[in-house]
């Protein structure tokens, strides 16, 4: 049976609703359920699932709907609605008593001395609110995406004019005055400042700095498009200037995908004048201009962290492209892993939730092997060109094509759990994953990976096969999920846990080299 209900003028955020949808979907007798606001995107999803009915015709983005396909002998629509109410009431109770002003203006009046606005409302409304915040003299962290590049430029120009931060749109990570914003880890306070245009890249560098025993002064996010020609690096430049003036910052780290040449020149020119050491990771970019500016280029995100720490301590700065563990130990790990595989297990499945971490993997492994991906190095390696499962695959599961109508896989591991089921088979030799913990992330992503690995192993065991799984955890022992516990639950499932994404990728490269020898 297909049924829907609509509640007029009841607004809830998308992540809350998607997580509740998921819980409801696990009820007995439920085939499909979608709870959402009546946006065009959500209604399209309902149509695609063939659940659209007359009730939904007049729904607006301000109305909540529940659409469900279910077996009426096992469950009723009433039970589904009750389940929704129970879950939403539980959430409401958790924050009962907090005053919730209806507008930005009333929030400013209510919270005396507010200095930053964190915006994660749907993209089409986000620019207007950000503009109002900047005009009121507040710094902005904007997680929302789907904001036009024209609006981004206008907002960033306004921020520069007023001397404010406009972090984003599509900015996932920042740590200001020790407070992690959106997706960020709990790291020690220290003397390294960072400006980042890539979320999980920033997270990886900050956690490695923390693990090396140093800390961060400020971590400023810019959003992924800041270093495009149209935006001209406005926020990265604003961030560098602030860190240069900051007495708490001794070393500066910059991380981004390769900038547009004109933007790179602006940044390099600014870095040339810097009176503090600057480490730059333009992931996969050209090192020559960085060296010419007197700055330090990097070979990986982890390398950026190590170099920043070395510069801070006055130690020798050199490329780190090896392992923490001694060579013999790594060789043993590789040959042990290889010895468990059958001759017809040939392929890599890299299933990433962090975009920059996936990017780092594909750039390294793609040099030696044909890797098919949704973010391919060359167009001929697009996933669609592979067709089946006979080839090496590396996916960024956080890209739009995998997140329509569901939360980002860092918030909800379901997407990766499904890919483990559909993309790991008897021809798979090695699975490579990232586990990103910290604020913003799921409460136990390592546990979800461990469950998927156990499930995949059980399936392969029926064919008399084993599976090699390599992971790294982007996190610290101060994060709510706890780094040590995350590593322990992965290791209990037989996962090889490496100390960084770069080392996990390099280990996989060695295993693949042995496989192709």
Q: Does 414 bind other proteins (CB under 8 A)?
A: no
Taking the complex as a whole, how short is the minimal distance between the CB of residue 179 and other proteins, in angstroms?
Answer: 5
Residue (of 317, 412, 399) closest to 358 by Cα position:
399
Q: Which of 237, 230, 125, 223 is nearest to 182 (CA)?
A: 223
Q: Which is nearer to other proteins, 113 or 464 (CB)?
A: 113
57 binds other proteins (CB under 8 A): no
- With CB under 8 A as the contact rule, the residue among 9, 275, 378, 516 that binds other proteins is 9
> Which residue is it, tokens 């997680």?
143
- Of 259, 440, 445, 447, the residue at the interface with other proteins (CB under 8 A) is 440
Asked if 238 is part of the footprint of other proteins (rule: CB under 8 A), the reply reads yes
Contact 61, 125 (CB under 8 A): no
Q: Which residue has the tokens 């209990």?
A: 492
φ, ψ of residue 148 to 5 degrees: the values are -65, 155
| Residue 115 is a binding residue for other proteins (CB under 8 A) | yes
Q: Which stretch in 28-36, 118-126, 305-313, 328-336 sits in contact with other proteins by CB under 8 A?
A: 118-126
Cβ at position 208, least distance to other proteins in Å: 22
Per rule CB under 8 A, is residue 15 in the interface with other proteins? Answer: yes
* Tokens 């020149």 found at: 265
Which residue from 168, 200, 173 is spatially nearest to 184, judged by alpha carbons? 173
* Cα radius of gyration (the chain): 24
Tell me the closest approach of the beta carbon of residue 105 to other proteins, in angstroms.
Answer: 10
Instruction: Compute CA distances 211 → 21, 52, 302, whole Å.
Output: 37, 51, 11
The single residue listed with the structure tokens 């024209």 is 150
For 318, phi and psi rounded to 5 degrees? Answer: -140, 155
DSSP symbol at 484: H
Interaction of residue 316 with other proteins, rule CB under 8 A = no
Site string for other proteins, 76-105 (x = CB under 8 A): ---------------x--xx--xxxxxxx-
Q: Which stretch binds other proteins (CB under 8 A): 20-28, 117-125, 363-371, 498-506?
A: 117-125
Number of C-beta neighbours around residue 344 at 10 A: 10
Say whether residue 342 binds other proteins (CB under 8 A).
Answer: no
Q: 141 CB contacts (<8 Å, ≥6 apart)? A: 116, 117, 118, 119, 165, 167, 168, 171, 174, 176, 181, 182, 221
Binding characters for other proteins, 467-486, by CB under 8 A (x = yes)? -------------x------
| Cα–Cα distances in angstroms (integers) from residue 486 to residues 83, 112, 240, 434, 477, in the given order | 31, 39, 34, 12, 10
- Stretch near other proteins under the rule CB under 8 A, chosen from 49-57, 121-129, 334-342, 344-352: 121-129
Interaction pattern, residues 240-279, with other proteins; x per rule: CB under 8 A: --x--xx-x-------------------------------
Tell me the closest approach of the beta carbon of residue 180 to other proteins, in angstroms: 8
* Phi–psi pair at 386, nearest 5 degrees: -80, -35
Binding site for other proteins (CB under 8 A): 9, 11, 13-16, 37-39, 60-62, 91, 94-95, 98-104, 107-108, 110-111, 113-122, 124-125, 128-129, 133, 137-139, 143-144, 163-165, 176-177, 179-182, 217-218, 238-239, 242, 245-246, 248, 411, 439-440, 480
């Amino acid at each position: 049976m297909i049924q829907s209900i609509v509640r007029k003028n009841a607004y809830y955020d998308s992540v809350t609703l998607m997580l509740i949808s998921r819980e409801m979907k696990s009820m007995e007798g439920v085939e499909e359920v979608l709870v959402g606001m009546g946006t065009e995107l959500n209604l399209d999803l309902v149509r695609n699932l063939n659940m659209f009915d007359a009730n939904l015709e007049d729904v607006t983005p301000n109305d909540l709907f529940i659409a469900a396909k279910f077996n009426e002998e096992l469950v009723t629509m009433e039970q589904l609605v009750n389940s929704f109410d129970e879950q939403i009431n539980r959430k409401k109770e958790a924050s009962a008593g907090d005053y919730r002003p209806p507008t930005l203006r009333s929030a400013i009046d209510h919270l005396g001395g507010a200095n930053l606005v964190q915006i994660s409302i749907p993209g089409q409304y986000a620019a207007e609110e950000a503009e109002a915040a900047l005009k009121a003299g507040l710094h902005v962290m904007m997680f929302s995406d789907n904001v036009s590049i024209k609006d981004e430029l206008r907002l960033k120009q306004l921020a520069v004019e007023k001397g404010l931060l406009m972090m984003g749109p599509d900015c996932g990570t920042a740590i200001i005055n020790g407070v992690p914003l959106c997706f960020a880890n709990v790291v020690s306070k220290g003397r390294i400042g960072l400006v980042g245009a890539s979320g999980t890249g920033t997270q990886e560098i900050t956690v490695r700095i923390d693990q090396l025993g140093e800390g961060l002064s400020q971590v400023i996010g810019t959003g992924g498009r800041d270093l495009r020609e149209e935006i001209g690096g406005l926020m990265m430049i604003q961030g560098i200037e602030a860190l240069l003036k900051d007495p708490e910052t001794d070393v500066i780290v910059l991380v981004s995908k390769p900038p547009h040449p004109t933007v790179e020149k602006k940044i390099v020119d600014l870095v040339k004048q810097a009176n503090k050491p600057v480490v730059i990771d333009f992931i996969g970019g050209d090192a020559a201009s960085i060296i010419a500016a007197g700055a330090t280029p990097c070979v990986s995100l982890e390398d950026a962290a190590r170099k920043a720490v070395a510069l801070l301590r006055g130690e020798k700065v050199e490329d780190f492209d090896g392992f923490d563990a001694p060579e013999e130990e790594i060789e043993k790990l590789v040959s042990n892993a290889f010895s468990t595989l059958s001759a017809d297990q040939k392929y890599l499945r890299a299933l990433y939730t962090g975009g920059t971490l996936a990017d780092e993997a594909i750039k390294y492994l793609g040099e030696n092997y044909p890797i098919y991906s949704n973010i391919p190095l060359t167009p001929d390696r697009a996933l669609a060109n592979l067709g089946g499962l006979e080839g090496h695959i590396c996916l960024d599961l956080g890209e739009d094509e995998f997140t329509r109508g569901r939360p980002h896989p860092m918030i909800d591991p379901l997407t990766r759990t499904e890919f483990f089921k559909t993309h790991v088979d008897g021809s798979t030799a090695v699975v490579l994953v990232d586990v990103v913990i910290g604020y913003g992330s799921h409460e136990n992503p390592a546990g979800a990976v461990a469950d998927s690995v156990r499930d995949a192993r059980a399936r392969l065991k029926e064919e008399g096969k084993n599976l090699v799984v390599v992971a790294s955890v982007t996190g610290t022992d101060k994060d709510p999920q706890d780094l040590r516990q995350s590593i322990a639950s992965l290791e209990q499932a037989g996962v090889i846990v490496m100390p960084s994404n770069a080392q996990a990728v390099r280990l996989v490269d060695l295993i693949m080299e042995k496989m192709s020898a």
